[in-house]
Amino acid sequence: MLTLKTPLEKGSKKLINAWAFYDWANSVYSLVISSAIFPIYFGALFSEINTISFLSYDIKNTAVISFVTASAFLIVSFISPILSGIADYIGNKKKFMKFFVYLGSVSCIGLYWFELETIYLGLLFYFLALIGLWSSIVFYNSYLPDIAFPEQQDRVSARGYSYGYIGSVTLLLFNLVMVMQPELFDIEGSKSEASMTAMKYSFISVGIWWALFSQYSFYYLPKSNHEVKVTKDIFWNGYKELNLVWRQLKGLVRIRRFLPAFFLYSMALQTVMLVAAYFGEEEISWANSDEKTVGLIVSILLIQIVAIFGAILTARASERFGNIPVLITINFIWVGLCVIAYYTRTPLQFYYVAGFVGLVMGGLQSLSRSTYSKLLPKTIDTTSFFSFYEITEKIGIVLGMVCFGLVDHISGSMRNGILFFIIFFIFGALMLLRVPNSKTSYT
């Protein structure tokens, strides 16, 4: 594996672009598998039966996905602090990032075998792909304060999300043509069978794209920020690093107040995003299966395209009004969108909601990441600090997906689950009011 021998200077355009390009590489998973193609494939697979038998219980299929997703994030939240502490100690976070990239990309390819007859194997690949993605992002995010100065970080973070939206849309458009016109790719079978096969090929394309384009980031990102000899005590030193960071967090008022607020609104945001396509597949009144397929993919594309501008506009707004006021405003916009989504039933209404979701989705994610990065003290142990950020997000997703799955399974409607998360956006916004605001400095 080629690696740049002379590290690029912090803040350099080439280094920043190389970091942001990992969003281009990995975001195809979030779009093609989490948001677009896989939910359609999953819905078609369970068109005649909407339950999965597990330990003699029949569980609603969408609830099963919620529970499997929650389990994956629980694992990530458990292993990421250990891995990040070790990575900071030995000074080679890129090695860990590579491992999870390849785990995720191979698991995406494994989704080709996601069938009713092999449902447990398919769910295992789905589970491992999630672990690969989100564990790699722990290390990716931790590079932000290493590659960019505080005054650059809002725009750099937004650039990463923008690259991700553009790259993922590019692959999704290719997959859309393959799914809608499988005969162009010599995919045999009836129209429905050929389309299902094309969807499975799209899972393979995600794995290849993710692994291939990650190489550009791996080439330019620095191997480490310091060097330490590897010893047999390295595992426990990871825990020691985490304990040190925990003690430091207690004295950092802004971070201590920001993280609980982030926990609440991120729980709602990430859960809504993860179930949005399943909601559209099940709760919207599509005329037929073809309209459903096209409509869901078009709505997801709309979200991604609008999100590019949303991330950029949010970064500009934060420069003028400050990070915290902008985050509060976006949270209240999300409250309104959840209410509107509850009453959304027609495809046209779904498109309108998708457009507004895109506008605030990327902005809230991007600005949250850069705000936290600004709040960090000057330290070389950025991975350990970012592990707390990631743990906060992942535990929130675990609780959010479990709550959503229970509400969905018990009530039989995903609408009630969407409405349930309004309270988390409201309390998240209110808790942000406790974080001291500064337009220019967070240190």
Looking at per-residue pLDDT, the higher value among 49 and 3 belongs to 49
pLDDT at position 429: 92
- Beta-carbon contacts of residue 285 (< 8 Å; ≥ 6 apart): 345, 346, 347
State yes or no: pLDDT of 32 exceeds 60.
yes
State yes or no: pLDDT of 295 exceeds 80.
yes
Q: How much helix, strand and coil, in percent to the nearest 5, is found in the chain? A: 80, 0, 20
Q: How far is CA 200 from the centre of its chain?
A: 21
pLDDT at position 442: 40
- Joined together, the tokens standing for residue 142 give 């931790």
The mean pLDDT value for 100-122 works out to: 92
Q: What is the pTM of this model?
A: 0.74
Give the domain ranges of the chain.
13-432
Q: Hey, which residues does 51 pair with through a beta bridge?
A: 60
pLDDT in tens, 62-76: 778 888 888 888 888
Tell me if the domain spanning 13-432 has CATH number 1.20.1250.20: yes
**108, 33 Cβ separation under 8 angstroms:** yes
pLDDT at position 209: 97
Which residue, among 316, 312, 268, has the nearest Cα to 431 in the 3D structure? 268
State yes or no: pLDDT of 175 exceeds 60.
yes
The mean pLDDT value for 160-173 works out to: 85
Looking at per-residue pLDDT, the higher value among 418 and 27 belongs to 27
- Joined together, the tokens standing for residue 211 give 């692994």
pLDDT at position 441: 40
Give me the amino acid identity at 424.
F
Average pLDDT, the chain: 81
- Joined together, the tokens standing for residue 176 give 């859309």
Give me the amino acid identity at 224.
S
pLDDT in tens, 224-269: 655 555 555 666 665 666 677 777 777 778 888 898 899 899 888 8
